[in-house]
Amino acid sequence: MEQNQTTNNIQVIPAPSSIISGKGFFNLNASTKLRLPNNDPALLGLGDYFSDLIRTATGFDLETTNDDASSNTIIIELAESLAAEGYHLEVTPEKIHITAQQAAGAFYAIQTLRQLLPAEIESQKAVDAIQWKVPVVTIQDAPRFSYRGLHLDVGRHFFPVEFIYKFIDLLALHKMNRFHWHLTEDQGWRIEIKKYPKLQEISAFRDETLIGHYNDQPHQFDGKRYGGYYSQEEIRKVVAYAESRFVTVIPEIEMPGHSLAVLAAYPELACHEGPFKTGNKWGIYNDVFCPTEATFEFLENVILEVIELFPNSPYIHIGGDETPKLQWKNSAFCQQLIKEQGLKDEHGLQSYFIQRMEKFINSKGKQIIGWDEILEGGLAPNATVMSWQGIEGGIAAARQGHDVIMSPTSHCYFDYYQSRSDDEPLAIGGYIPLDKVYNYEPIPEELTEAESKHILGAQGNLWTEYIPTGEKAEYMVYPRAIALAEVVWSQLENKDYDDFAQRLSHHFKRLDELNVNYANHILDIESKITPNENGLNLSMTTIHPTANIRFTTDGSEPSSTSSTYNTPLVIANDQVVSAAVFEKDEKISRTSQLDFKMHKAAGKTILLETPPAPAYSLGGKQALINGIRGSSQRYGDGEWLGWSGADLVATIDLGASEVVNSVQMRFFNGNGQWIYLPKKVVISLSEEGENFKEAGTLNVFEETLDKTKTIQVDLGEKTGRFLRVQVERFGLIPDGLQGGGHEAWLFVDEIEVN
């Protein structure tokens, strides 16, 4: 940006490419006219859209003209010289002039103009005693990525059409252009298919729904029938509505896994006799489509109706993720098919399944998108890959010349917790705060410039196991989706989180007017714990520019008379630090609390043989020895670190030779989320850091329903400067269980040395 927009009172999100502020305002009033040269039909629609947008709050009914009016006019016209989806917006005291290459660009200019007006423009009732001023400014803008998406799972929980319209409106406001509609799941089929009425009668409903978290044992259910589906007429209206907002709706029909709801209605499509019923709990089911001719006939007929309902989408998303192979391994038919087709194994059979469906979908003029598991066994020739398990799938696909949409769990899963606070509503797990979303870079640094061109953009995902209402969906999505909107729209050099946070604090008023139930964690205190020679330093920051942080160290609630934070606190002993943000004498944030338990390794130097997975490494390696224990209820709080496919091997330099009596550790246990207790812990000591001698060992694994397990390895007053902790992971999850055949996750919090 040529000028910082916050200091110039231009609060536009996502950040435009260039802003030049001027002096004065354009005053929108009842006499303002809309000039649409040549009466272009696409522009006439935009004129109507803008008039409708402002009519309720202002009471103005703008006159549309193609005359060359000289003043008090908003002009919208097309110009071939601009970038696709880009626009030029010039505001003077006399005119507002919008030019764009395409109607989409003009639409995005209107979203910017909308944000330049007072937030009350969004009011659902008339607003009196306000001047509708637009600051004088020149904005040149265009998106960085062509694919700017948001996903909604309606299979686990069903959302009414009115909410889908609102979901699309919010996408459009933030210049996102792809709505990934996840329409089928084990727990419910949500799209009317006229050829197969039992999908509506049986697959769209489940007998009951799991209460609480999947990891809560024993499972409890509500005993209430649940479900619903969208009629074809409703879907056509949603698609048309989205098109009017320049949003493309991409339907997802899951295959070959996540198909239990279908098998409940059409059991002949399975590899065994069943019985089947629509899923009533979360997780992954072993019941999948059998790759028979009957299955392919069914899916092709379904896809034909789907294609007719979504004519504007170049893609059909076919899922392809989380497909257990157990039933295929046990199926004589599948084993014979593997031999007949010359396939290597069941992964090859999945590739055969996907490629066969791709060939059919391609023959109808559409491309497929699949989750990154479609790489297993060989990638379909024309597939676009949605990389969710990390960035590795995206890198592999791009290097093979395939287009990629980045959507990793580490940054783009909005069903994860967004705050460390224990009072957050129930979520699936994980921890992705707003700043982590904002700081995401979709193009992996491993790719060459040529390979990078295959990264089409990024997408945020909302899976709804624990999201039963539209109100909670909004809470989980916003404002994180706004941060992602700036990631995929704004130029990399224009990104600045502090500036974004300031703009967002103003934008919240607009969301209030739109009745969006967003999560406001922007004032939450950010804490950073670093080593010092006396123990630990605790640094605290707030994004609020004029507020201050007040704190206590005895666990009591901070007040306006508590100590003001100015410099990092030195933590040398056990203590509870409570802090909150105050503006003048008013508390304006939630209280954050850190309970420090100091030990001999706290604040020392630690080396890891293998780093934790990117999605579960937010606290960094020092989180293992920072004196803070992780939550006993959730592993996504920044204190727990997670590994998959690797043991934890940590070497701690205690700084001097110490007598060590014991090492205490805690592990998370959540088999439903593929998290298992480790097999064994081995503690070794060394004086020089090279020759280690085993000092103690403990077998850990046990069958337990407890969410955490604390272990203590007693060493009996052994001496050493360097302490090595080796944690042997569980390994592969047995077939038939959640995640069967995959590596179990290992989650560890504090390594306490005493």
pLDDT tens-digit readout, 487-509: 999 999 999 999 999 999 999 99
Q: What is the mean pLDDT of residues 575-592?
A: 93
Q: What is the mean pLDDT of residues 703-726?
A: 95
Give the sign of the dihedral formed by CA 71, CA 74, CA 80, CA 85. positive
Q: Say if residue 381's pLDDT is above 70.
A: yes
Q: Do 66 and 118 share a domain, yes or no? A: yes
Q: Is 616 exposed, middle or buried (0-12, 13-18, 19+ CB in 10 A)?
A: buried
Amino acid 4: pLDDT: 43
Q: How high does pLDDT run on average in the chain?
A: 94
| Residues composing the chain | 754
Confidence of residue 8 (pLDDT cuts 50, 70, 90): low
Amino acid 68: pLDDT: 73
Three-state DSSP state, 140: strand
Find the range with the poorest average confidence among 61-75, 361-375, 561-575, 646-660: 61-75
Domain count, the chain: 4
Assess if residue 499 is contained within a domain.
no
Amino acid 650: pLDDT: 98
Q: What is the mean pLDDT of residues 278-285?
A: 96
Phi, psi of 326 (to 5 degrees): -60, -50
Distance (Å, whole) CA 639 – CA 628: 7
Q: Do 297 and 444 share a domain, yes or no? A: yes
Question: Which tops the pLDDT comparison, 423 or 97?
Answer: 97
Question: Which tops the pLDDT comparison, 742 or 624?
Answer: 624
Q: Percentage of the chain surpassing pLDDT 70?
A: 99
- Give the contacts of 366 (CB within 8 A, at least 6 positions apart): 307, 313, 314, 315, 316
- Segment 638-681, tens digit of pLDDT: 899 999 999 999 999 999 999 999 999 999 999 989 999 999 99
**DSSP letter string over 635-646?**
S-SSS-EEEESS
Q: Say if residue 75's pLDDT is above 50.
A: yes
Q: Do 167 and 82 share a domain, yes or no? A: no
Amino acid 6: pLDDT: 43
Say if residues 140 and 17 touch (Cβ distance below 8 Å).
yes
For residue 550 the two structure tokens come to: 């007040």
What value, to the nearest 5°, has the Cα angle with vertex 146 and ends 141 and 148? 95
- Segment 188-204, tens digit of pLDDT: 999 999 999 999 999 99
Q: Do 193 and 276 share a domain, yes or no? A: yes
Strand (E) or helix (H) holding 164: helix 161-173
Q: Do 712 and 589 share a domain, yes or no? A: no
List Cα–Cα distances, 595 to 352, 414, 550, in angstroms.
Answer: 54, 28, 17
List Cα–Cα distances, 346 to 180, 351, 742, in angstroms.
Answer: 28, 9, 14
Q: Do 660 and 571 share a domain, yes or no? A: no
Q: Do 616 and 584 share a domain, yes or no? A: no
Q: Say if residue 256's pLDDT is above 50.
A: yes
Amino acid 397: pLDDT: 95
Say if residues 37 and 26 touch (Cβ distance below 8 Å).
no
- The domain that holds 89 is classified in CATH as 3.30.379.10
Among 351, 386, 378, 391, CA closest to 255: 351
User: Quick one: three-class SS letters along 559-588?
Assistant: CCCCEECCCCEEECCCEEEEEEEEECCEEC
Distance (Å, whole) CA 497 – CA 478: 16
Q: Say if residue 634's pLDDT is above 90.
A: no
Q: Which of 99, 118, 141 is the last residue of a domain?
A: 141
Strand (E) or helix (H) holding 273: none
Three-state DSSP state, 204: coil
Q: Say if residue 5's pLDDT is above 70.
A: no
Find the range with the poorest average confidence among 190-204, 376-390, 681-695: 376-390
Distance (Å, whole) CA 16 – CA 415: 28
Q: Do 614 and 721 share a domain, yes or no? A: yes
Assess if residue 248 is contained within a domain.
yes
Domain ranges, residue 427: 147-317+363-490
Q: Which of 86, 109, 141 is the last residue of a domain?
A: 141
Q: What is the mean pLDDT of residues 129-144?
A: 96
Confidence of residue 7 (pLDDT cuts 50, 70, 90): very low
Say if residues 551 and 565 touch (Cβ distance below 8 Å).
yes
Distance (Å, whole) CA 266 – CA 260: 10
Q: Do 655 and 717 share a domain, yes or no? A: yes
Q: Do 712 and 634 share a domain, yes or no? A: yes
